[in-house]
Chain A
Amino acid sequence: MLKINHYKIIVVVFNIVKMKKTLFSILILLSLKTFSQTYEVEYSLEQTAKNINLITNIKAYLKGNGKYSIYEEDFERSRTNSGTDSEIISLNRNPILYKEILEKKIFFKDQIRFNFFDILDSTSVFKWEIQKDTKTILNYKCQKAVCEFRSRKYEVYFTTELTFSDGPWKFYGLPGLILEVYSNDNVATFHFIAEKIKIKNETENIKNPYINKELITFDDYVNIYRKKYDESLYRVVNENGETRPMSKGFREYFIHE
């Protein structure tokens, strides 16, 4: 696990604007009303695939303005930093996930046997249950919440000191920014932890990279996955008559038998 040896805070204080009447305050009101903060969070993700005992450590970046956010997991960077270049499957781009938080829409990319799909997921609903545990992450007081999402149980810590209803990967919908996520079952373990948070007082327009792409719905994607999964149950790969079934899902389960 991560060891905390050193703790450093850089605080930049901007001008404190005194309350003035009329124009100035209205301007502020309007600009503040349109969610004029932008948050940038750097997470460290450790995921373990238990069947082949593979541990992957990468950095993930979340950037949002309260309404829209973009999330990227940096597999590419960790690839070039590794001691030996080694992967059987090599994908050239980092996966990018875009959220329209208020519309409850998530745009992301996934692949089935190297065929890539741009997916619009409108069915990611998180039924959060708040629990009593608390902890401090990066000097923010966090409280625990749990939920079950697509057959996996998650424990998260979120902070209401940053009232953005967002989090890493597909997580959102809590009254504060999610700074830690943990999940463990017999297929895999995931652990996201925020390592760096940046709050800026400006509106940043976060564009949707999937705007001109051909999208399929999440349900369609699951159907295609199911079809290919069925094929993999019967397709023989060698002279001994062995098959190699696909997994039922990794972060999300697509097959629920």
Chain B
Amino acid sequence: MNKYIFIILFINSISFSQTLKGTVTDSVGVVPFVSILIKEKNNLITQFTTTDNNGKYQILLKNNKDSLFVEVSNLSYEPNIIYLKDYTANNNQITVNFKLNARTTKLKEVIVEKKIPITIKKDTLTYNPENFKDGSEKVVEDLLKKLPGIKVEDNGEIKYRGKAIKKMLLDGDDLFDSQYTIGSKNINVEMIDKVQGIENYEENSLLKGISNSDDVALNLVLKKGKTDFSGNANLGYGYKNMYNSNINGLAINSKIKGFGVSSFNNVGQNSTPYNFDSDIISVENQKNKNLIAKELINQGNFYSFLDDSFHRLNNNFFTSLNILTKAYRKSNLKINTSFYSDKLKRVNENNSSITTNNDVFSIIENNSIKKKPTLFDFNFAYLNNEKEMFHWNYIGKFFYQKTNYNDISSNNSFVQENTVNTKSFLVNQNFSSTYKISDSIALTSNFTYTRSKAPQDLYLTPGTIIDLNNSIISKFQNSTFDKENINLNSSLFLTNKKIKFGLHTSFFKTSTSLISSLNDEFNNSIDKNYKNDNKYDLLHFKMNPVFIFNNKKYSFKIGLNTFYNNISFNNYIKKTKINEDDLLVSPSLTFIYRFNKKNNTSFKYSFNQILPEEDKLFDGIIQRNYRNFASNDFSLQYLKTHSYLINYNFNDYFNLKQFSINLTHDYRENNYFYKSIINQNISISNAYFANIGNKDYGINLSGETYLHPLRTTIQMSSNYSLSFDKNIINNSELRDILGKTFYSQLTARTGFNSKINFSNKISFINNSFEVKKTAIKNNFNSLTDQFKIMYRNNAKNFKVDFISNFISPDLNQNNNYVFLETEISHTPKNKKISYSLIGKNLTNNKTFETKSVSDYSSSISSHNLISRYLMLKVTFGF
């Protein structure tokens, strides 16, 4: 039975596979490349084919021929239709030839168009978007470190394509202003949809295309459809009494964006925009550098060769709230408030060996420091963008900081208690407007008023003996800088495709006063030489025309800064007054040449003439701490500096190779030099101005490449600098100092597809000082190596990191350190919560000792460290 069914089926299937073939011709000959359409009765096409070079076609029909018709379709010929039921199959082959007739009517020329209403959709560009693979990034800063062209510095400063970003926007809105580290260090990466890098960032949308902005910015686009309120929390507790907690929340809706963060830790971490313990200027302070009153009294040396997490004994509480809301139709209202409070502790030991012309002696210092800064920062901004061609905004800032500093110091066995109280405040009001005159012309104007005051008090118990007869003892130093600044700026921007021209005019009036007095045990001022009461008024008017030309191959920028200064300096102690009028020009030139996409070079030159800052103009002696005194020989001369920079970049992203070299040279026609007197009890440093040239040279190389056979990325960075300086120590002659620094770092990272990977970073420093025409030479070498082992399991939810740091601060001595730390983390399946176990300073190093040299001293310093601890941390999102 089965055999018969099979045969019937076979016959049936055969009867349906008919082949249709034929030739198409017209009055001239064969017609190649014309379409043959097989259609059904409803005029729908079921199959098609085209004739070949010889006008022949062949097709295997899918359906029964009787239901089909064939159409030859081409715009040059009249349509030709035949019905297959009119033809018979021969051996399951049907032959149909077509004879085409040319179309007699010329085809109508048509333009058919559809009008679509303009829908506003966000247009962002990527040509071939790359996968940003989700790794174990927790906060935005972790994600940013992985993006091409984005670099995150130690203090959290973000650089895009080598330039520091001006802003980090959230969905195009500026919520954080310069305090973007609040966002980058705290926002959960899960909230971020994509990161956009913006070049030629012009905060002012009216200036787009007109001004030449070199600025760059980042924009974080948030995920849509995510809950309106989200955040995450980090709670860590360690043995003994170590805390590290952080909670932050982001609330978004169409009207309001708000971000709040609160953190508390005593493990040395600082995820705030403020920094009190080292020479790294925090992002927040960089912005206000010239506006905020200076502080002359020293508040502790917290410098360390090591990373913060090893040595920064702190007790830090920080909270910040940032709100941005839409006001009216196109305007924004922004409020930022931050509160910061910390308790920093440090124990320093310093043993310096001083070598001057005839003398060699040592200074031994011990310090036990407690520093408590507290600050409050409030910013308010209203941005009005209602009118299309005219935007204006108002920004107000209030900043208050109070620092309480206490140091039990021992200076060659002389013990003193030092207390410094500093209060600093800054008020800033700013009003700006932009008027777009046309597509190629815009005018901006800006008015700012700033007032800042920073009173400081230093109390010493017992006082410091100043003179050789032991008769003058200083107990109390007060010092207050008061600064007021009014600034009016106006800029005109013109553009003409390749050429951009800006004329920047500005007027500012700065008034800085310093009142200081060094008092003895009876709270009387010691004498006139230890007092300051001065007022420095500067009226500055400037016109800076800048001309920019941009072309595919090269671009250049020329600026001719012309300025007029009216200076008045009143010294109320000496009863002198100086007035000066100056008209000066400071030119600058930048030239960039692009060989091709991979290579470019640039050259920059500028000549600057700047007036000394207020901390170089006081001539009364100020006591900075228990043994250091400072003063200046007053001089109102301009510091003239010629700066040169040559740079070459090679960037072959395709072959994953990158290399750059920078050469810098600064030549100063004149400068401030130091006359110092150093003895066992005190050091006095006096800065004086001299028309003596000094200069420095620097060369910097860096590169990166990827070796695929070893699956290893290698990065290298080297720096060599030479400085030619001069100074006077203990009544010597003017000495010529040659300082040389060499720094080199090599990093290798593996990327095996296995569970374990390594990375190693080795660095070497050589520092040397030489005093010419003498035998005085100081030199030291130090070496560090960091080795890291990383284990990740297959599901990528369990990881172990183990880091070892080997440090040899002075290769000539056998005093080496090994620091070990580890972190084990686990994220269970539901993903919302993760656990980590952290162990720091496993070898329990208690102090860290380093060596440093200068042209007159060689010192061994040590400070204490955070003792070994084990911490359990829980992280969860909400």
- A79 contacts across to B, CB distance below 8 A: 123, 125
Are A5 and B132 neighbours in the complex by a CB distance under 8 Å?
A: no
- B162 contacts across to A, CB distance below 8 A: none
Are A234 and B115 neighbours in the complex by a CB distance under 8 Å?
A: no
Residues of chain A from 182 to 237 with CB closer than 8 A to chain B in the complex: 195-201, 228, 230-231, 233-237
CA distance A86 to B76 in the complex (A): 48
Are B110 and A85 neighbours in the complex by a CB distance under 8 Å?
A: no
Known contacts: A90-B199, A201-B106. The answer to whether A162 contacts B122 by CB under 8 A is: no
Are A143 and B44 neighbours in the complex by a CB distance under 8 Å?
A: yes
Interface string of B743-770 (1 = CB under 8 A from A): 0000001111100010100000000000
- Cβ contact of B133, chosen from A49, A195, A231, A243, cutoff 8 A: A243
* B48 contacts A by Cβ under 8 Å: yes
Residues of chain A from 5 to 41 with CB closer than 8 A to chain B in the complex: 5-17, 19, 25, 28-29, 32-33, 35-37
- B751 contacts across to A, CB distance below 8 A: 233-236, 241, 243
- Smallest Cβ distance from B825 to chain A, in angstroms? 11
Known contacts: A11-B110, A195-B116, A234-B751. The answer to whether A17 contacts B123 by CB under 8 A is: no
- Cβ contact of B194, chosen from A16, A53, A102, cutoff 8 A: A53
- B19 contacts across to A, CB distance below 8 A: none
- Smallest Cβ distance from B161 to chain A, in angstroms? 10
Tell which of A44, A134, A231, A242 has the most Cβ of chain B within 10 Å: A242
- Smallest Cβ distance from B696 to chain A, in angstroms? 32
Tell which of B117, B130, B208 has the most Cβ of chain A within 10 Å: B130
CA distance A128 to B112 in the complex (A): 27
- A56 contacts across to B, CB distance below 8 A: 123-126
Tell which of A7, A88, A176, A234 has the most Cβ of chain B within 10 Å: A88
CA distance A89 to B790 in the complex (A): 31
Q: How large is the interface on A (under 10, 10 to 19, 20 to 34, 35 or more residues)?
A: 35 or more
Residues of chain A from 228 to 257 with CB closer than 8 A to chain B in the complex: 228, 230-231, 233-247, 250
- Smallest Cβ distance from B92 to chain A, in angstroms? 22
Are B123 and A82 neighbours in the complex by a CB distance under 8 Å?
A: yes
- Cβ contact of A132, chosen from B44, B103, B127, B788, cutoff 8 A: B44
- A52 contacts across to B, CB distance below 8 A: 129, 132, 193-194
Interface string of B617-652 (1 = CB under 8 A from A): 000000000000000000000000000000000001
* B219 contacts A by Cβ under 8 Å: yes
Are B654 and A197 neighbours in the complex by a CB distance under 8 Å?
A: no
CA distance A243 to B147 in the complex (A): 11
Are A228 and B108 neighbours in the complex by a CB distance under 8 Å?
A: no
A-B contact count (CB 8 A): 274
CA distance A102 to B31 in the complex (A): 13
- Cβ contact of A85, chosen from B45, B147, B200, B752, cutoff 8 A: B200
- Smallest Cβ distance from A207 to chain B, in angstroms? 21
CA distance A86 to B35 in the complex (A): 46
Residues of chain B from 138 to 185 with CB closer than 8 A to chain A in the complex: 142, 145-149, 172
- Binding site secondary structure of chain A: loop
Are B750 and A57 neighbours in the complex by a CB distance under 8 Å?
A: no
- B103 contacts across to A, CB distance below 8 A: 32
- Smallest Cβ distance from B219 to chain A, in angstroms? 6
CA distance A36 to B76 in the complex (A): 8
Known contacts: A91-B127, A114-B653, A241-B792. The answer to whether A86 contacts B45 by CB under 8 A is: no
- B123 contacts across to A, CB distance below 8 A: 56-57, 78-79, 81-83
Are B706 and A111 neighbours in the complex by a CB distance under 8 Å?
A: no
* B114 contacts A by Cβ under 8 Å: yes
Are A160 and B130 neighbours in the complex by a CB distance under 8 Å?
A: no
- B597 contacts across to A, CB distance below 8 A: 114
- Smallest Cβ distance from A53 to chain B, in angstroms? 5
- Smallest Cβ distance from B456 to chain A, in angstroms? 40
Are B127 and A9 neighbours in the complex by a CB distance under 8 Å?
A: no
CA distance A137 to B822 in the complex (A): 64
- A128 contacts across to B, CB distance below 8 A: 48
Are B106 and A88 neighbours in the complex by a CB distance under 8 Å?
A: no
Q: Tell me the nearest residue of chain B to A134, going by C-beta.
A: B44
Known contacts: A84-B172, A235-B656, A241-B751. The answer to whether A200 contacts B109 by CB under 8 A is: yes
Are A14 and B108 neighbours in the complex by a CB distance under 8 Å?
A: yes
* B28 contacts A by Cβ under 8 Å: yes
- A250 contacts across to B, CB distance below 8 A: 128-129
- Smallest Cβ distance from B833 to chain A, in angstroms? 20
Are B113 and A10 neighbours in the complex by a CB distance under 8 Å?
A: yes
* B731 contacts A by Cβ under 8 Å: no
CA distance A119 to B776 in the complex (A): 67
Known contacts: A130-B47, A240-B136. The answer to whether A4 contacts B107 by CB under 8 A is: no
Are B790 and A241 neighbours in the complex by a CB distance under 8 Å?
A: yes
CA distance A160 to B146 in the complex (A): 51
Tell which of A16, A134, A160, A201 has the most Cβ of chain B within 10 Å: A160
- Smallest Cβ distance from A149 to chain B, in angstroms? 17
CA distance A55 to B194 in the complex (A): 12
Are A160 and B28 neighbours in the complex by a CB distance under 8 Å?
A: no
CA distance A84 to B219 in the complex (A): 10
Are A197 and B112 neighbours in the complex by a CB distance under 8 Å?
A: yes
- Cβ contact of A49, chosen from B104, B126, B208, B753, cutoff 8 A: B126
* B33 contacts A by Cβ under 8 Å: yes
Are B73 and A176 neighbours in the complex by a CB distance under 8 Å?
A: yes
- B198 contacts across to A, CB distance below 8 A: 84-86
CA distance A134 to B129 in the complex (A): 34
CA distance A246 to B107 in the complex (A): 49
CA distance A105 to B193 in the complex (A): 39
Are A247 and B136 neighbours in the complex by a CB distance under 8 Å?
A: no
Are A244 and B130 neighbours in the complex by a CB distance under 8 Å?
A: yes
Q: Tell me the nearest residue of chain A to B48, going by C-beta.
A: A175
Are A175 and B73 neighbours in the complex by a CB distance under 8 Å?
A: yes
- Cβ contact of A247, chosen from B36, B130, B135, B708, cutoff 8 A: B130
Interface string of A59-91 (1 = CB under 8 A from B): 000000000000000010011011111111111
Known contacts: A49-B126, A53-B194, A90-B199. The answer to whether A33 contacts B76 by CB under 8 A is: yes
CA distance A247 to B142 in the complex (A): 21
- A239 contacts across to B, CB distance below 8 A: 749, 759, 788
Residues of chain B from 182 to 219 with CB closer than 8 A to chain A in the complex: 193-201, 205, 208, 219
* B223 contacts A by Cβ under 8 Å: yes
Are B193 and A53 neighbours in the complex by a CB distance under 8 Å?
A: yes
- Smallest Cβ distance from B352 to chain A, in angstroms? 36
- Cβ contact of A162, chosen from B75, B147, B149, cutoff 8 A: B75
- Smallest Cβ distance from A24 to chain B, in angstroms? 11
- B27 contacts across to A, CB distance below 8 A: 29
- Cβ contact of B108, chosen from A7, A11, A19, cutoff 8 A: A11
Are B110 and A54 neighbours in the complex by a CB distance under 8 Å?
A: no
Are A115 and B654 neighbours in the complex by a CB distance under 8 Å?
A: yes
* B105 contacts A by Cβ under 8 Å: yes
- A233 contacts across to B, CB distance below 8 A: 751, 753
Are A245 and B133 neighbours in the complex by a CB distance under 8 Å?
A: yes
- A176 contacts across to B, CB distance below 8 A: 35, 73
Are B193 and A86 neighbours in the complex by a CB distance under 8 Å?
A: no
CA distance A181 to B619 in the complex (A): 80
Are B126 and A88 neighbours in the complex by a CB distance under 8 Å?
A: yes
List residues of chain B with CB under 8 Å of any chain A CB. 26-28, 33, 35-37, 44-48, 50, 73-76, 102-117, 119, 121-133, 135-136, 142, 145-149, 172, 193-201, 205, 208, 219, 223-224, 597, 652-654, 656, 706, 708, 711-713, 749-753, 757, 759, 788, 790, 792
Q: Please name 24 pairs of A and B residues whose Cβ atoms are closer than 8 Å in the assembled complex, sorted by A.
A: A9-B113, A16-B105, A16-B106, A28-B106, A54-B194, A56-B126, A79-B123, A82-B125, A83-B205, A84-B198, A84-B205, A86-B124, A88-B148, A89-B125, A95-B127, A111-B127, A112-B654, A175-B73, A176-B35, A197-B111, A234-B708, A240-B790, A241-B757, A244-B133
The 6 A-B pairs at the shortest CB distance, nearest first, are namely A175-B35, A115-B654, A82-B123, A87-B125, A234-B751, A6-B115
Q: What 11 additional pairs, Cβ within 8 angstroms, besides A15-B106, A82-B124, A130-B46? A: A10-B112, A10-B113, A11-B110, A33-B76, A86-B219, A128-B48, A138-B112, A195-B113, A198-B110, A234-B753, A247-B131
